[in-house]
Amino acid sequence: MHQISKVMFVAVLLAKSMSASAELETYKIDNAHSFANFSIRHVASKLSGTFSDVTGKISIDRSNLSNSSVDAKISLLSVNTSFAKRDEHIKKEEYLDVGHFADMQFVSTKVIQGKNANEGVITGKLTLHGVTKEMTFPFKVLGYANDPWGGYRNGIEAHTSLKTSDFGFTWGKAGSPVGDEIEVTLLIEGIKTN
């Protein structure tokens, strides 16, 4: 009888495991429809721009967002402030130093679902300019829908801010025309792969 109980216990665990994996949906980030928009103080105003090359994957459990995860990479080479000469200047060693650090990457370590089933807070490791820091910020799942090309998509929006000095940049020091803090809005669209 004891052996039967053990077998039943293992069967229940396997069933729960299979159920959990079945609920996890994987989405490839569509870099043609995903953006990391930013704004930063410039002299007496603010400068805005975007990084348009965002890649990676998102795993989502709709029934419990806490089981979800993100692994995303942003190419700093894709910076666009609507002025080509400025974009080339930003890429230089004085600012982003894309010759040595062409990408930034975020890998989640924890997701906490909020009171709303489509909102939560995500924590993870952001690597930028050769420095890795833990970051926590809110996000919202905007929805799910079939696309015109036979695929299925989801949309996510997130907001955060970071201090460039935390990642070894020096341009935001006191008296500089460029600020230290960057406000970021992530607009991510994923294509379902499973």
What residues does each domain of the chain span?
24-192
3-state secondary structure of 3: helix
Ranges in the chain, pLDDT < 50: 11-12, 15, 17-21
Please give the pLDDT value at position 53: 98
Counting every residue written for the chain, the total comes to 194
Q: In the prediction, which pLDDT does 6 show? A: 58
Q: 150-184, pLDDT tens digit by residue?
A: 999 999 999 999 999 999 999 998 889 999 999 99
Q: Does domain 24-192 have CATH number 3.40.50.300?
A: no
